[in-house]
Structure 1
């Protein structure tokens, strides 16, 4: 199923959704009118909390606003359109005039008491009266709706039957640009002949994209058009389908929707399609816990905690949650900003059972001992390790989407994951559990190498051996000099030792002998243990005149980092896995 078709199906399953032609918007105030069109009062609809958050209401969908020509909304708008606040500072501001004239054009002939009251308001309202209802220094930024004095607690004007009927019948003409009505064609999503959307509603909430929203399907230049078609006619999607997929996507992109996570520059949304709503919700909760627990904070995860741990141990989903193994289709979509458009970083759709198996493979590839201190980190935490200064906004572009796509599909990881991790290690000298796990996963999946989870004293890979050896040299320095070292050998030599070890290790060995001389006086037992360890590692090297290679390939550099991490971590634990104290050393 195509991405847009899946989103249209998702719209049909939304628990609370605006009807066709409507959209959920932030509304701050309601202007209550008397039968003769006078303003009876202005009601503040915002929440009473400290933030004074606006209320979300389903109102007639907005036309796209581009250029200098004012394009008002139907029966609601911001304070500049609905009440003419812009004219108080700029007499040439025509937004209220456009709001007034267009409504009178469409509504004056409608024989309904509420409609005629609203028309009377438009004819009589003067923007100078704003000061009676608002502080002109702090004008509202949320939307403004209208209602009648006797019924505003029950419904606003845009919900009145007569006005809703006008909107649904005249919506196409109201939103038409330059008088061009929508053409009819076969919709690429539904397969039915329908009125085609010339422009699609904006998609909001994508990290880094325009605040006003951007589009996935758009044609704003002759270079993108063909066969004489204009705008949306080049990729015909019906008005109904365009409304449905953008409504669902905007709902999923809400920060508190429970359907989105941020992976690098990709705003990632996910949803499940199942016959039973409970099974779909459970699958979505599992996915949120897989990659970012904060996405499912509103869901009671205590009930899935034990099941989640079983999944991470590799148990089949058919045994852990059999109701999810079959009959649950899962969709994952990653979006990133691209000028005025949105770029699809990845799109994946398959069964939840397949997704779980691919996730279990990801977990197994990343398994490492000792593990990260804080348990299973979210995917974004790994990506931060690839960013300069550890800032999320510095995560290299594209790598997040490519890695997520590989995890979802079970395919090879992007090699940029390996090269970027090695580059960051050389840049700041930090070799932690997250970086070592990423190196290990790429070696397993892309190079089919056997990489130890924990310290492997018998491993004879030259990169792994040299990484362990480098960690021992560093420990000898630390044991001999303590903390009185401005720059350790790791700070000075790690990059050169992992790439061109032959040039460095002779210097390191000579320095280690000097440190051993001092350590034998301070702690003879510690010196003997480290000498034995050093000998056991060098005995693993291939015999020859110079067993240390001149250079290491990128895969061997990764094993160097893993060997260093394993050996370095082993120095801070006893054999019974209890930490070593200074007194023990």
Structure 2
């Protein structure tokens, strides 16, 4: 009932043009820095998107591809990620893993945007990675980026601050890619529809006492929690669509600035 109520809330918010949440496959993400490049993939500058609110710099929010659930392995988001993935900055003294992260970031672009590789923005990003000698360290933001490992994405110089992901051909290719994912279908326990099942549900952020990477509301990570040999999400089949809707709604309700969030002592209620 809780998941169903959260999905209903998401759908109500979606119907309101003034407060619409991100559509399926997307999310709103604060991104502090843009990597500005030209059509040939040459680095121009790092653009700081942050503005001061009180004494705290707040990054500009962009609608981007829904982030994948990160585990201990290497897995990249599409066209946005922390600097270790985007630029190959080794923060943990493990250059081999950092290079794997960078390659994963590149391969994710080639895989999910295979229908948009001729787009000027995507082509420029791929050319950026073909040029080993880039003057990144001369930029005035370089030291901060190395220190803080911020989330970043790309912007084409001629687009005047619009991110590459927002180019029309890129959005169309991504939409086609997410529409084609998930052939295996199960009966969704939330909606009752026969839909592609979520193996791992997106994380819930802002949960008191949970890890900074987020918490799971539905998870089966030990043998004792499983039944009939089923793995992970198959133990409680919830569709990708419903999992996206309930987690998007709950993350919205748990945002730091949300009026729906209240902390009483050591209890954090959403």
Question: Scaled by the length of structure 2, what TM-score is found?
Answer: 0.86
Q: Which residue of the partner structure matches residue 130 of structure 1?
A: 136
CA distance in 1, matches of 2:144, 2:259: 37
Q: Does 1:41 align with 2:45?
A: yes
Q: Which residue of the partner structure matches residue 11 of structure 1?
A: 10
Deviation at 1:86, TM superposition (A): 1.5
Q: Does 1:146 align with 2:154?
A: yes
CA distance in 1, matches of 2:29, 2:114: 26
Q: Deviations over 1:80-102 (max 9, x none)?
A: 00111127954322211221233
After superposition, residues 126-275 of structure 1 pair within 5 angstroms as 129-133=135-139, 134-136=141-143, 139=146, 140-153=148-161, 155-171=162-178, 183-269=184-270
Structure of higher RCO (CA pairs closer than 8 Å, 6+ residues apart): 2
CA distance in 1, matches of 2:135, 2:211: 34
Of Structure 1 and Structure 2, the greater strand share is in: 2
CA distance in 2, matches of 1:156, 1:4: 33
The structure with the larger Rg is: 1
Distance 1:152 1:233, change over 3 A: farther
CA distance in 2, matches of 1:54, 1:199: 28
Structure 1 contact 31–43 (Cα < 8 Å) conserved: yes
1:101 is paired with a residue whose SS is helix
1:77 is paired with a residue whose SS is strand
1:61 to 54, 61, 66: 66
Of Structure 1 and Structure 2, the greater helix share is in: 1
Deviation at 1:161, TM superposition (A): 2.2
Q: Deviations over 1:114-137 (max 9, x none)?
A: 2222221222255x7431223336
Root-mean-square deviation (Å): 2.4
Deviation at 1:108, TM superposition (A): 5.3
Structure 1 contact 29–45 (Cα < 8 Å) conserved: yes
Deviation at 1:106, TM superposition (A): 4.0
CA distance in 2, matches of 1:250, 1:77: 19
Q: Does 1:27 align with 2:3?
A: no
1:213 is paired with a residue whose SS is coil
Unmatched runs of 5 consecutive residues or more in structure 2: 14-18
Deviation at 1:264, TM superposition (A): 4.1
CA distance in 2, matches of 1:21, 1:159: 14
Unmatched runs of 5 consecutive residues or more in structure 1: 175-180, 270-585
After superposition, residues 314-353 of structure 1 pair within 5 angstroms as none
CA distance in 2, matches of 1:137, 1:44: 11
Question: Scaled by the length of structure 1, what TM-score is found?
Answer: 0.42
* Number of residue-to-residue matches in the alignment: 259
Distance 1:193 1:30, change over 3 A: same
Structure 1 contact 30–43 (Cα < 8 Å) conserved: yes
CA distance in 2, matches of 1:123, 1:22: 28
Distance 1:196 1:121, change over 3 A: same
CA distance in 1, matches of 2:92, 2:206: 32
CA distance in 1, matches of 2:239, 2:66: 15
Q: Which residue of the partner structure matches residue 323 of structure 1?
A: none
Q: Which residue of the partner structure matches residue 105 of structure 2?
A: 99
1:7 is paired with a residue whose SS is helix
Q: Deviations over 1:284-303 (max 9, x none)?
A: xxxxxxxxxxxxxxxxxxxx
Deviation at 1:169, TM superposition (A): 2.9
Distance 1:188 1:58, change over 3 A: same
